[in-house]
Amino acid sequence: MIPERARAILDQVASGQLSPAAALAQLAIEPFESLEYATVDHHRALRQGYPEVIFGAGKTAEQVVGIAERIASRGDGFLVTRVEVVAQVALLDTFPGVRVNPVARTAFLAGTQRAQSGRGEVLVITAGTSDLPVAEEASETVMALGGEVRRVTDVGVAGIHRLLSRSAELRDARVIIVVAGMDGALPSVVGGLVACPVIAVPTSVGYGAAFGGIAPLLTALNSCAAGVTVVNIDNGFGAAVAASRILSAL
């Protein structure tokens, strides 16, 4: 993994075969090998026991299983997102320990070196039951990245008391992911109730002027509760990684 070529140059300097000036010039010509080393090192620190992530959409069951086997064979774990039913079954057949969540459309296998747990809990709040697949994708991703998840489901603003009756849980949360389609009003209300980080995931739930998620996306971006941040439509995975970045920073 150590760039042999950079080492060789430095060895030549040490042995006097190469002047420092010449070495500098040579390193400048191919400066990225040294970077690559830094990168890998950095990534390892970053991903400490993290699973690799496979984006399952548009991949055949064979392709998904093939990639997963390559990862698992070196002892690493994997998380597959947006994995279709056929591939879910194939993964269950291939990996005894795999955890498949059909609502989230995810499959997760822990690596031999697990992510350290105890990083804290993420509260995943869902406006309606139709938003569940995205919320579950977020939840599975949080767990795959070593976090814990608490769920509050079906507390959309049309019946605001459902949300308010859970206010104790909201106040206790360290990071909140709010998943909402249609009018997407829930993140604003939640953002006004709590002081912790709130990540909004607009979903494509709705029809007509929901425009496949544009409506709740704009609602979240214009939240009158300050400090609510937003990820792409239906991007439960991204919200979970953002939450995990926060948990890691804690």
Instruction: Please pick, from the candidates 34, 94, 99, 151, the single residue that binds a second copy as defined by CB under 8 A.
Output: 34
Instruction: Please pick, from the candidates 56, 77, 128, 236, the single residue that binds a second copy as defined by CB under 8 A.
Output: 128
Read off the DSSP letter of residue 159.
G
As measured in angstroms, the least distance from the Cβ of 105 to a second copy is 13
As measured in angstroms, the least distance from the Cβ of 107 to a second copy is 17
Cβ-based nearer residue to a second copy, 13 or 71: 13
Instruction: Please pick, from the candidates 1, 13, 80, 114, the single residue that binds a second copy as defined by CB under 8 A.
Output: 13
As measured in angstroms, the least distance from the Cβ of 31 to a second copy is 5
Q: Give the C-alpha separation, 95 to 79, whole Å.
A: 12
Return the exposure string of 155-178: e unless at least 16 CB atoms fall within 10 Å of the residue's CB, then b.
bbbeeeeebeebeeebeebbbbbb
As measured in angstroms, the least distance from the Cβ of 141 to a second copy is 9
Site for a second copy in 167-196 (CB under 8 A): 167-168, 171, 174-175, 182-185, 188-189, 191-196
**Which residues touch 232 (CB under 8 Å, ≥6 apart)?**
238
Cβ-based nearer residue to a second copy, 13 or 99: 13
Per-residue tokens: 100: 């498949």
Nearest to 172, CA basis, from 188, 154, 148, 155: 148
Site for a second copy in 38-97 (CB under 8 A): 38-39, 41-42, 45-47, 53, 55, 57-58
Residues pairing with 200 in the sheet: 178, 230
As measured in angstroms, the least distance from the Cβ of 199 to a second copy is 6
Stretch that binds a second copy, among 5-13, 70-78, 91-99, 107-115 (CB under 8 A): 5-13
Residue with tokens 């698992």: 72
Residue 142: how many CB atoms within 10 A of its CB? 27
Stretch that binds a second copy, among 13-21, 68-76, 91-99, 106-114 (CB under 8 A): 13-21
223 binds a second copy (CB under 8 A): yes
Instruction: Please pick, from the candidates 94, 99, 111, 221, the single residue that binds a second copy as defined by CB under 8 A.
Output: 221
Nearest to 85, CA basis, from 153, 47, 18, 133: 133
Nearest to 163, CA basis, from 209, 128, 131, 199: 128
β-pairing, 106-109 with 78-81? antiparallel
As measured in angstroms, the least distance from the Cβ of 96 to a second copy is 28
